[in-house]
Amino acid sequence: MQAPIMDGVRIKRGQGEVVRLPRGASLTDFADKIDAMPADLVKVLIGLGEMVTATQSIDDDTLRLLGGELNYAVEVVSPEDEDRELLESYNLEFGEDEGEDADLEIRPPVVTVMGHVDHGKTKLLDAIRSTNVVSDEAGGITQHIGAYQVATMTSEGVERKITFIDTPGHEAFTAMRARGAQVTDISILVVAADDGVKPQTIEALNHAQAAGVPIVVAVNKVDKEGADPMKVRGQLTEYGLVAEEFGGETMFVDVSAKQGTGIESLLEAVLLTADAALDLRANPHQDAQGVAIEAHLDRGRGPVATVLVQRGTLRAGDSIVAGDAFGRVRAMLDDEGNPVEVALPSMPVQVLGLTSVPGAGDSFMVVAEDRVARQIAQTRQARERNALLAKNRVKRSLEDFLESLEKGEVAELTLIIKGDVSGSVEALEDALLKIDMGDEVSLRVIHRGVGAINKNDVTLASASKAVIIGFNVRPEGKVAELAAEEGVDVRFYSVIYNAIEEVEAALRGMLKPIYEEVQLGTAEVREVFKSSKFGTIAGCLVQSGEMRRNGKARLIRDGAVVADNLSIAGLRRFKDDVTEVREGFECGVNLGNYQDVKVDDVIETFELREKPRKP
């Protein structure tokens, strides 16, 4: 049954059937599902006031709107569901331990250190690392791979391990949270005893509580004069963290990261809290699964990813897929740079052998064959692209669209972001996309990645008039020359803040200038002469400011503007042509073709000055 939906469009209306579409689907995808012509769907959407092309990615609301119009129940499949279905199609599942309860074995807790800036998070992580009881001789090269494991001796004389996520700047942590990757079992909240609870202390606390992660409080800097560890306990009570010694459930440990005191007790408190509040077990006898914590491109070794095994055992030679990257584990290194053959649950290792760089927070899993890893990665890459397109589409109604066309196109700054580690690329992108310049200009990131700026980046930038942002990376070989030839703007930064500032300035520069009028002077007409050579000449007395040749002018008579858009075509003092005449002097003014000047008129001169936009 073909019923006209609107003039010239014939689409079969649905009867409330469910149409499942992936997030970021296009009208072509939609048309496929309901056996219609994409062009017809484009027309229907125009009728609904939305301008989109057939192949453009559409946001969820628009998909549902269109579905509603055609009487289909559109179900937008979330990326998570889609991914689950993708894995299911290979008989895989992420996130659950295989087997029975009896297959589960105790695993070390995974700990994140959070707190206000300068309260000693970094120092504490260093102090903890150096207390490692199994860390053999001093001087062993410690590597910052994004996480490390320490062994500690409990007061019962049992050696137990704890894994620490050790990410400077917390960029990866933020990225991981944004992706919903929950790797942290316990949070250590660092509060400096001489400074007390601060805004970021509360922020960190809220994040941990929202994620349901138990907290151990490290009251740091107790060595300092003015340290008041009791005050910290009191302050945190207000936020629901009541110290054990006051009948609460939270363990507070006084430490000095600087002097290395209290560290053992802190580690023990972590273990006690884990034992009391959590059931930390995993099945080590299955294919490994976990999360990529940090990844970068290494000049010599290629993509290097630090992964945290959450269940199973990871082995050299395994085929893995991590986010949209895949490969075979060529070698594994522990946090001291030693090669390891196997990695058990809660163990962080650096993995070599991936073909590209995964994102911080991406899940990874071992699959049976290279082929499966590649296919899953490629499907994810395609989905990622679509989602990005959908996210970046400027949603505009037809009216807005036409209006902006009339005004002369909405200005858009297109960027390509390359960086040294995925955490910083993501952090930078997030920060840049948050710059709000209102509706007049927008920012779009068309590509981003980890590694040097290469030929492809420049070609893409040239084709889409994009600017390349390099964060802690340089162009490969001859790429800088190519960029210069193609006229591609490449900018390098090593501080995120600087990049943000410059991009913001660029966006501001794209705003159309706002001009304001600045009055330059006024002159009263005292006499009017007619000259055969120059036409009408007004003999004036400059009353304020100055008259300037070629300046803009208007003529005022009895307080009303009688002529605007004039210009001072000629300016004379006595017989001489001059460029300006100041207040208090007489002059002859010629207003070009404009002849209707009378005695007592006022000539007002002004200029248009570009007004700086309010930052």
Q: How far is the CB of 112 from ligand GDP (least distance, A)?
A: 13
For ligand GDP, the closer of residues 123 and 548 by Cβ is 123
For ligand GDP, the closer of residues 235 and 381 by Cβ is 235
Beta carbons within 10 angstroms of residue 610's beta carbon: 9
Q: How far is the CB of 496 from ligand GDP (least distance, A)?
A: 16
Distance CA(210)–CA(19), nearest Å, equals 34
Q: How far is the CB of 42 from ligand GDP (least distance, A)?
A: 53
Report whether 478 contacts 406 (CB < 8 A).
no
Q: Given the structure tokens 């159309």, which residue do they identify?
A: 512
Q: How far is the CB of 257 from ligand GDP (least distance, A)?
A: 4
**Secondary structure of 424-451 in HEC code, one letter for each residue:** HHHHHHHHHHCCCCCCCEEEEEEEEEEC
**Which residues make Cβ contacts (< 8 Å) with residue 412, sequence separation at least 6?**
394, 441, 442, 443, 444
Q: How far is the CB of 124 from ligand GDP (least distance, A)?
A: 7
Query: Within 13 Å of residue 12, how many CA atoms lie on the same side as its CB?
Result: 12
Containing 27, the helix (H) or strand (E) segment is helix 27-34
Q: How far is the CB of 113 from ligand GDP (least distance, A)?
A: 8
Q: How far is the CB of 282 from ligand GDP (least distance, A)?
A: 30
The residue sitting closest to ligand GDP, measured at its beta carbon, is 120
Q: How far is the CB of 513 from ligand GDP (least distance, A)?
A: 42
Q: How far is the CB of 420 from ligand GDP (least distance, A)?
A: 20
For ligand GDP, the closer of residues 163 and 220 by Cβ is 220
**Secondary structure of 530-595 in HEC code, one letter for each residue:** EECCCEEEEEEEEEEEEEECCCEEEEEECCEEEEEEEECCEEEECCEECCEEECCCEEEEECCCCC
- Measured in whole angstroms, the distance separating CA 561 from the mean position of its chain's CA atoms is 52
Burial category of 581 from C-beta neighbours within 10 Å (exposed 0-12, middle 13-18, buried 19 and up): buried
Torsion of CA 77, 80, 83, 87, to 10 degrees: -120
For ligand GDP, the closer of residues 260 and 592 by Cβ is 260
For ligand GDP, the closer of residues 257 and 520 by Cβ is 257
For ligand GDP, the closer of residues 119 and 311 by Cβ is 119
Q: How far is the CB of 231 from ligand GDP (least distance, A)?
A: 16
For ligand GDP, the closer of residues 224 and 231 by Cβ is 224
For ligand GDP, the closer of residues 107 and 121 by Cβ is 121
For ligand GDP, the closer of residues 218 and 320 by Cβ is 218
Distance CA(326)–CA(305), nearest Å, equals 11
Residue ranges of the alpha helices (H) in 316-454? 370-392, 398-406, 422-433
Report whether 552 contacts 608 (CB < 8 A).
yes
Binding site for ligand GDP (CB under 6 A): 115, 117-123, 220-221, 223-224, 256-258
Q: How far is the CB of 168 from ligand GDP (least distance, A)?
A: 8
Distance CA(251)–CA(22), nearest Å, equals 46
**Sheet containing 186-192: which strands, arranged edge to edge?**
147-153, 159-165, 110-115, 186-192, 215-220, 251-254
In terms of Cα–Cα distance, which of 541, 552, 548 is closest to 599? 541
For ligand GDP, the closer of residues 256 and 590 by Cβ is 256
Report whether 499 contacts 469 (CB < 8 A).
yes
> Residue 149 is encoded by which pair of tokens?
């494991």
For ligand GDP, the closer of residues 125 and 308 by Cβ is 125
